Structures are given as structure tokens and as C-alpha cells.
């Protein structure tokens, strides 16, 4: 089946990885931190790379997602959720760069007067970036933009599940940057393992929580600091009184972009039990208006490969066996074989779910949407808090009290009110998880800081009174002065 054909990208050896790192580190040590102008130039090169190759990028991603007449990754989606946020991010980084690089003045202690202090933001050296398949360009080039802004050199290991995009990234990066500045290491899991064992100055990993654990373990060998951008189950709470028309539309946008294969897609809904039927009905009508057909609609993205489709079908079977009600939303009434041909799945709602079902245990990462009900808001909050901390928590409500309560009580990487997923594209907001959904952040100034060392710089001016704290400690004046500083 053409939709499932895969080509392995050329693989790189552990020795080649080590020598690239040595090359980059030696160049970093020799040339020192790049100036503002040089960093700006690097970011402009990156921006040009994306702008000049939009069509090739969209075509490569679509091919990796199965690329047939009806299947693959929707070109419109790639423009909206891959190219657009990447371009916004780079442009914003260029605009904010001078401000971010400016050292921050700090006050000094009167006892050390006269003196000066500041924090300088200096590059760390060589940054490793490991990226996943679901947004293979924005999750490789987004971290790259942050790392370049902070003046680093970068090695990227993209996913082996999107080999065409990974090869394209390697080709484009090699045209725009020298290998001692930015390089792309393609290959499979062995390459990824060797990559995560390299003594980088910082390693940013985007991927699943289970692999994130392995990456952190490998990085700990060389005490490499890590930023882990992981996944998990992001809940969406739907308040009883909310305007459903507006809510369900933005809920479905986050769920159906990339056919639910999005780290911040709403994983499951918590709906007030008096409104479940209405929510289901709105989901039906809104899905039909966004996607009158699914299987043969190139605007609706395929599941990345047959294994992942089987995984999702397995969740449905398991939930059905354990008593869930399964409602398939198939507006064009297309046949199951058409979905199989395009390696797609329709949006499928699951009611009467409980935690014994795998769909309520694992991150779904596909167009299945379990709906749990609650009668009291605290019940919904308690359910979320009884599970690992999510990457995003969504609340759809017109009540300030409800929004405040969910925001206060739920610990999540981000809180988004009356919208899903678009917080990722807010250039002034940091992005990252908490607990099992990750650690550390990128995007915005916080990302610049992640890839920088915040170096404390202190300067003692002369003349000063420092001799009063130096030994020998005898003498009345010194004793009184120290007593005065300590206080009572
Ligand atoms: P994955 O963890 O399987 O793979 C991610 C990367 O890790 C790939 O490049 C892969 O080659 C590499 N890898 C695989 N085995 C490895 C190992 N043993 N050691 C080191 N690296 C290894 O994730 P995926 O299936 O590509 O992506 C889906 C997951 O990523 C989901 O859980 C999703 O929530 C998460 N995700 C998170 C974010 C975020 O920003 N927080 C964004 C997108 C995806």
C-alpha cells in the first residue's frame, strides 16, 4: 500500500555523532559567543529556509503521513500549524533578540560598596535537539531558533518515522549552515540512543514520557541538563452554562488538527452531566461543517502509520469490551475500507468510560475522544488531580468563578480558557510541561534563558571597605562593624 510505504533515512554512526559534537564544540571555544548581528543573521537564514521551502516541507510531511490522493498530512494544516507558528516564532525571536540579550543590572549589598553586579546571558555551547514525528518541522526548528538566538551551536536528531522530512531538514540545514554550526543527524532508534548519550551542554527532547525517561537517564551520565517536552492526557472541562457553539468549534480545532496527533490536543472531556447530549450533538454538527467527509478528504490528516492506527483501534475494542458506548462521527457516511485505505480514523466519541480502559490510561494521540461526566466542578478537578499532571488543561466556561477555580486547583503545563492548542503559537508565552508532562520550557524569553547560562558578574570598585572583613579579626572597629552588619 502506497500510503504506508516508508524509506529509511541515511543513518549516521555513533563515531560520526561524537566527531560532529567535537567539531562544534571546538568551533564554539575558538570563536566565542556570536554578536547580536551574527545571531540575527543566523535567525534570518533560518526564516529564509522555511519561507523558501514551504511547498517542499508540506509535500515531505504529507508523504511521511502516507501521501496519497486522499491520505497524508493536510497541506492546509501544515501551513497553519507547522509553517505559521515556526515563522511567527522566528520573527518574534529576531524582534526580541536585542532585548533578551541585554545584561540585567542587579543591586549590590551596601556592605560591599562600592560595587557593581549584573547577569549576563551567555551561550551554553552545543545544544542537542531530539524531535518527534507529529510536527517534525516546527518541533525541530522551533528549538533551533531559541538555541541560535542564545548563541549556541546545535545538533538535531529528527524522528525516524518521518524519514522524508528528516532528510529534507538535513539537506536544507546543510545548505544554510556549516556543520560546525548546525547539523542534522538522521537515523533510527540506535542513532537516537547514541545521540542522547552525547555530552551536550544542554539537551532538549520532545517526545513521549517513556522515552523521555530514557533520555534523562542517558543524559545524566554526563550531567547534561535536559528540557523534556513530553506528552500525557490533557483534559478539557466543559462548564454547564457555557456557550456551546463557540466552545465546541475551538475544542474540535485542537482535537482534529493532525487527526488528534498533537501533544496538546484535548485528550478527554469532562462535561457537566446535564449537558452531555447537547455536547455530543454539537460535536456531530460542527464536525460535519468542518469536514463534510473524512476518509477521502485531503484536509483531514491520516494516522502516521498502520501500527499507530492499530493501537487506536485496540483502544476502541478494549473500551467497547469494558462497557463504553462508542459513537463514530462519520458525516459523509463513508465505508470503513475507505478509512483503512487512507489510514485514517473518524472522530470517535466514547461515553461511559472508566479508568480500567486503556483509552483512559494512555495518551490517545488520535481522533478518539472519551467523555466523562461530572455533577460538581470539584469532582472534575479532583479527577484531573488524581492523574499525572497534564501538558495543558482546558476550561470552557463563561463563569469567572469556574475559570478561577480550575486555574487555581489544576497544576498543568498551561491553562487555556475557551480555546485549545493556540497557546502554543503565542510568542510571548513559554511552552512546557510539569511533572510527567515535562520539565523546563522553550519559546519566548524563557526559551532564550533555557539555552543560555545566566552568568553572575560582580565587580568590586576601589577604594572600598573590604579590608574590614579580612583577617586578622581583632580590633574594636572591625568587631563593631561586623556586629552592626549582623544586627540584633
Ligand atoms: P517518541 O518518544 O517515540 O520519539 C521522539 C524522539 O525520540 C524521536 O526522534 C526518536 O527517534 C527518539 N527516540 C526513540 N527512542 C529513543 C531512545 N531510546 N533514546 C533516545 N531517543 C529516542 O515520540 P513520538 O512518537 O515521536 O512523538 C509522540 C509523543 O511526543 C507523544 O507522547 C506526544 O505527546 C509527545 N510530544 C510532545 C510535545 C511537547 O511539546 N510537549 C510535542 C509533540 C509531541
Same domain, 419 and 448: no
Note the pLDDT of residue 9.
56
159: domain CATH number?
3.40.605.10
> Is the sign of the CA dihedral 381, 383, 386, 388 positive or negative?
negative
Residue nearest to atom 14 of ligand 1 (CA): 189
Same domain, 293 and 350: yes
Q: Of the listed 263, 299, 363, 476, which one is catalytic? A: 263
Quote the ligand 1 centre to 159 CA distance (angstroms): 8
Same domain, 178 and 38: yes
**Cα–Cα distance for residue pair 90/272, rounded to 1 Å:** 41
Same domain, 241 and 378: yes
Same domain, 398 and 272: yes
406 falls within a domain: yes
Claim: this prediction has a pTM higher than 0.85: yes
Summarised one tens digit per residue, pLDDT across range 22-49 is 999 999 999 999 999 999 999 999 999 9
Note the pLDDT of residue 8.
56
Phi, psi of 119, deg, nearest 5: -110, 125
Q: Which three cell numbers stand for residue 142?
A: 522551533
**Is 229 marked active-site?**
yes
| DSSP H or E run through 182 | strand 182-184
470 falls within a domain: no
Same domain, 268 and 393: yes
Note the pLDDT of residue 172.
98
| CA distances to 46, 91, 137, 190 from 50, in Å | 7, 12, 9, 29
2 falls within a domain: no
480 falls within a domain: no
Contact 204, 226 (CB under 8 A): yes
Note the pLDDT of residue 485.
87
302: domain CATH number?
3.40.309.10
Q: Minimal CA–CA distance to 307: which of 57, 6, 22, 67? A: 6
Phi, psi of 48, deg, nearest 5: -60, -40
Same domain, 140 and 289: no
Same domain, 128 and 247: no
138 falls within a domain: yes
Quote the ligand 1 centre to 207 CA distance (angstroms): 2
471 falls within a domain: no
Note the pLDDT of residue 465.
85
Same domain, 173 and 265: no
**Is 379 marked active-site?**
no
Site residues for ligand 1, CB cut-off 6 Å:
130-134, 139, 157, 159-160, 189, 192-193, 196, 206-208, 211, 214-215, 229-231, 263, 363, 365, 391, 433, 438
Residue nearest to atom 26 of ligand 1 (CA): 132
**In this structure, what is the dihedral angle of CA atoms 113, 119, 120, 126, given to the nearest 10 degrees?**
140
Same domain, 75 and 120: yes
Same domain, 240 and 317: yes
322 falls within a domain: yes
Residue ranges of the chain with pLDDT lower than 50?
Answer: 1-7
468 falls within a domain: no
Place of cell 480502559: 357
Bridge partners (DSSP) of residue 373 are 271
Range of the domain at 23: 14-230+441-453
**Cα–Cα distance for residue pair 65/365, rounded to 1 Å:** 14
Quote the ligand 1 centre to 132 CA distance (angstroms): 4
Residue nearest to atom 42 of ligand 1 (CA): 263
**Cα–Cα distance for residue pair 94/235, rounded to 1 Å:** 34
Same domain, 202 and 219: yes
CB atoms within 10 A of CB 316: 20
Note the pLDDT of residue 466.
86
> Structurally, how many domains does the chain consist of?
2
Q: What is the number of helices (H) and of strands (E) in the chain?
A: 17, 16
Amino acid at each position: 500500500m502506497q500510503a504506508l510505504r516508508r524509506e529509511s533515512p541515511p543513518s549516521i554512526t555513533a563515531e560520526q555523532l561524537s566527531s560532529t559534537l567535537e567539531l562544534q564544540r571546538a568551533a564554539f571555544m575558538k570563536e566565542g559567543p556570536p554578536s547580536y548581528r551574527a545571531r540575527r543573521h543566523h535567525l534570518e537564514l533560518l526564516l529564509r529556509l522555511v519561507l523558501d521551502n514551504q511547498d517542499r516541507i508540506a509535500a515531505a510531511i504529507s508523504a511521511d503521513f502516507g501521501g496519497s490522493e486522499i491520505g497524508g498530512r493536510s497541506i492546509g494544516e501544515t501551513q497553519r500549524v507547522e509553517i505559521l507558528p515556526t515563522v511567527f516564532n522566528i520573527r518574534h525571536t529576531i524582534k526580541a533578540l536585542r532585548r533578551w540579550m541585554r545584561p540585567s543590572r542587579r543591586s549590590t549589598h551596601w556592605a560591599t560598596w562600592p560595587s557593581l553586579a549584573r547577569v549576563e546571558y551567555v551561550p551554553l555551547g552545543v545544544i542537542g535537539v531530539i524531535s518527534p514525528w507529529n510536527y517534525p518541522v516546527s518541533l525541530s526548528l522551533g528549538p533551533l531558533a531559541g538555541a541560535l538566538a542564545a548563541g549556541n551551536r546545535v545538533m538535531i536528531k529528527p524522528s525516524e518515522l518521518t524519514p522524508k522530512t528528516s532528510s529534507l531538514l538535513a539537506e536544507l540545514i546543510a545548505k544554510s549552515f556549516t556543520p560546525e554550526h548546525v547539523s542534522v543527524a538522521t537515523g533510527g532508534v540506535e542513532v537516537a540512543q547514541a545521540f542522547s548519550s552525547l555530552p551536550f551542554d544542554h539537551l532538549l527532547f520532545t517526545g513521549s514520557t517513556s522515552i523521555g525517561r530514557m533520555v534523562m537517564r542517558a543524559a545524566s551520565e554526563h550531567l547534561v541538563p535536559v528540557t523534556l517536552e513530553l506528552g500525557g492526557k490533557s483534559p478539557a472541562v466543559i462548564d454547564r452554562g457555557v456557550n456551546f457553539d463557540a466552545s465546541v468549534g475551538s475544542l474540535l480545532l485542537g482535537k482534529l488538527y493532525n487527526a488528534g496527533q498533537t501533544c496538546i490536543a484535548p485528550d478527554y472531556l469532562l462535561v457537566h452531566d446535564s449537558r452531555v447530549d447537547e455536547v455530543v450533538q454539537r460535536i456531530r454538527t460542527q464536525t460535519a461543517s468542518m469536514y463534510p467527509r473524512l476518509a477521502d478528504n485531503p484536509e483531514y490528516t491520516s494516522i502516521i502509520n498502520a501500527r499507530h492506527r492499530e493501537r487506536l483501534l485496540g483502544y476502541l475494542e478494549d473500551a467497547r469490551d469494558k462497557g463504553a458506548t462508542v459513537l463514530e462521527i462519520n458525516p459523509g457516511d463513508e465505508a470503513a475500507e475507505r478509512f483503512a485505505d487512507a489510514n485514517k480514523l473518524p472522530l470517535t466519541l466514547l461515553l461511559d468510560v472508566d479508568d480500567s480502559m486503556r483509552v483512559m490510561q494512555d495518551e490517545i494521540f488520535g481522533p478518539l475522544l472519551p467523555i466523562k461526566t461530572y455533577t460538581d466542578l470539584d469532582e472534575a478537578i479532583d479527577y484531573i488531580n488524581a492523574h499525572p499532571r497534564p501538558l495543558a488543561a482546558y476550561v470552557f466556561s463563561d463563569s469567572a468563578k469556574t475559570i478561577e477555580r480550575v486555574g487555581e486547583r489544576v497544576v498543568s503545563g498551561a491553562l487555556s480558557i475557551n480555546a485549545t492548542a493556540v497557546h502554543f503559537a503565542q510568542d510571548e508565552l513559554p511552552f512546557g510541561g510539569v511533572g510527567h508532562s515535562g520539565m523546563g520550557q522553550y519559546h519566548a524569553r524563557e526559551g532564550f534563558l533555557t539555552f543560555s547560562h545566566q552568568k553572575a558578574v560582580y565587580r568590586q570598585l576601589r577604594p572600598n571597605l573590604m579590608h574590614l572583613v579580612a583577617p586578622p579579626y581583632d580590633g574594636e572597629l572591625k568587631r563593631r562593624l561586623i556586629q552592626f552588619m549582623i544586627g540584633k
